């Protein structure tokens, strides 16, 4: 897999490979941009090798590590775009730890990761993501202050998941208004793929708004927790994208919108919390547009969590409804993306990319201009 010539690597400032033999840590930190502020993004702990289980060990290792590189590059670039579109004073970065978090995610390993982050000197701030927990981030915090989303501390903002879920809920309403002519979710059916920390809270918002929900998850306890709070139809994970619904909300891992699934999607709106939901940007969003399906660019709609974290990174106490007000603006940003895409006859994903890139370039130009004076 070429790295320097790939679109995923485009404009990255730094990529760091980390290992610690004692704890078994294998990690990658990707800093895409610091034009708007310190690169900030979650630490994903994922077993990339497991995807290639059954292949010879050396093949599984090579392909798994290639997947990890591709993932961290796409995710970090997405964070730059996400932070730019949310109007934050943060750049874009991401990290991945390779392996099974239940087996390897010890306090010692997370502390080793924290030491590595600390060596970057504030260029990158880590936060919770898929496979990591608040406790694990506390272990990172024992070795560095460059971590956000903590449960305790003077500027702690806590679990970002509820804020992500609120932003997705607001984004779904904005998408429905654009596609169906009303932001009311009364009587609408929403299919949620993945009901973990974010998807479960989103399910509650949707039910409270009068929507019927269909859910799927590979973890039974996640499904049980949602059903405990109210009614939901449960389907197999392999079917959730193809159910009869008004809105499909991917809230699991990325890549689920691809040439295989797109022809099977019945929803006219795709709006969810998953990052990098398009397998191939510019291709899959074009295919969605041609089918008359409105796509809410993932990094725009799922920015609620990073909006919460911004205050912590900049050591600012949250005053009143400052955080909620910023999260609610996600709906207005999406409306601008939808209207521009419709007017230009282009995919919403491409339009959002160009908007984000313009914001980042303006910040870079400003910095260069100041340095030249």
Cα–Cα nearest to 293, from 251, 250, 328, 330: 250
Is 149 known as a binding-site position?
A: no
Show Cβ contacts of residue 188 under 8 Å, excluding neighbours closer than 6 positions: 176, 180, 210, 211, 212, 246, 247
* Phi, psi (degrees; rounded to nearest 5) at 166: -65, -40
* Phi, psi (degrees; rounded to nearest 5) at 43: -105, 110
Could you give the CA distance from residue 345 to residue 52 in angstroms, rounded to a whole number? Answer: 39
Is 199 known as a binding-site position?
A: yes
Could you give the CA distance from residue 201 to residue 164 in angstroms, rounded to a whole number? Answer: 9
Question: In a 10 Å sphere around its CB, with 0-12 CB exposed, 13-18 middle and 19+ buried, how is residue 163 labelled?
Answer: buried
Is 194 known as a binding-site position?
A: yes
Helix (H, G, I), strand (E, B) or coil at 321: coil
User: Does the active-site annotation cover 94?
Assistant: yes
Helix (H, G, I), strand (E, B) or coil at 37: coil
Helix (H, G, I), strand (E, B) or coil at 322: helix
Is 196 known as a binding-site position?
A: yes
How many Cα atoms occupy the beta-carbon half-sphere of 208 within 13 Å?
9
Q: Which of 94, 179, 188, 326 is catalytic?
A: 94
Q: What tokens appear for 340 in the block?
A: 């521009």
Q: What are the strands of the beta sheet with 25-33, ordered from one edge?
A: 14-20, 25-33, 91-98, 39-46, 124-128
Is 163 known as a binding-site position?
A: no
Q: Answer yes or no: are the C-beta atoms of 23 and 106 closer than 8 Å.
A: yes
Bridge partners, 128 (sequence order) = 43
Kindly report the number of other CB atoms within 10 A of residue 363's CB atom.
18
Enumerate the active-site residues: 94
Binding residues for NAD(+): 194-199
């Amino acid at each position: 897999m070429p790295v320097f010539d790939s679109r995923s690597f485009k404009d990255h400032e730094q990529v760091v490979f980390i290992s610690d033999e004692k704890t078994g840590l294998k990690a990658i930190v990707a800093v895409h941009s610091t034009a708007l502020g310190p690169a900030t993004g979650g630490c994903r702990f994922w077993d990339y090798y497991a995807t290639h289980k059954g292949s010879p060990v050396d093949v599984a290792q090579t392909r798994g590590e290639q997947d990890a590189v591709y993932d961290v590059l796409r995710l970090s670039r997405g964070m730059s775009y996400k932070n730019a579109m949310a109007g934050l004073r943060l750049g874009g970065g991401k990290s991945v730890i390779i392996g099974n978090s239940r087996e390897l995610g010890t306090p010692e390993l997370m502390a080793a990761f924290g030491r590595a982050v600390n060596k970057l000197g504030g260029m990158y701030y880590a936060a919770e993501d898929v496979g990591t927990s608040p406790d694990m981030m506390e272990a990172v915090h024992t070795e560095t202050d460059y971590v956000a989303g903590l449960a305790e501390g003077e500027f702690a903002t806590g679990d970002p998941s509820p804020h992500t879920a609120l932003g997705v809920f607001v984004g779904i309403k904005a998408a429905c208004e654009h596609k169906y002519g009303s932001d009311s979710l009364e009587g609408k059916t929403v299919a949620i793929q993945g009901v973990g920390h974010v998807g479960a809270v989103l399910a509650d918002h949707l039910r409270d708004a009068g929507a019927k929900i269909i859910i799927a998850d590979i973890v039974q306890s996640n499904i049980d927790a949602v059903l405990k709070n109210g009614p939901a139809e449960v389907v197999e994970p392999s079917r959730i994208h193809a159910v009869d619904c008004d809105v499909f909300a991917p809230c699991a891992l990325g890549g689920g919108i691809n040439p295989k699934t797109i022809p099977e999607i019945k929803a006219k709106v795709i709006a969810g919390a998953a990052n990098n939901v398009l397998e191939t940007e510019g291709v899959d969003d074009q295919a969605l547009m041609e089918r008359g399906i409105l796509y809410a660019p993932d990094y725009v709609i799922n920015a609620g969590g990073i909006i919460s974290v911004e205050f912590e990174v900049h050591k600012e106490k949250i005053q009143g409804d400052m955080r909620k007000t910023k999260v609610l603006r996600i709906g207005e940003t999406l409306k601008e993306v939808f209207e521009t895409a419709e007017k230009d006859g282009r995919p919403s994903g491409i339009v959002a990319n160009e908007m984000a890139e313009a914001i980042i370039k303006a910040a870079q130009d400003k910095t260069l201009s100041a340095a030249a004076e």
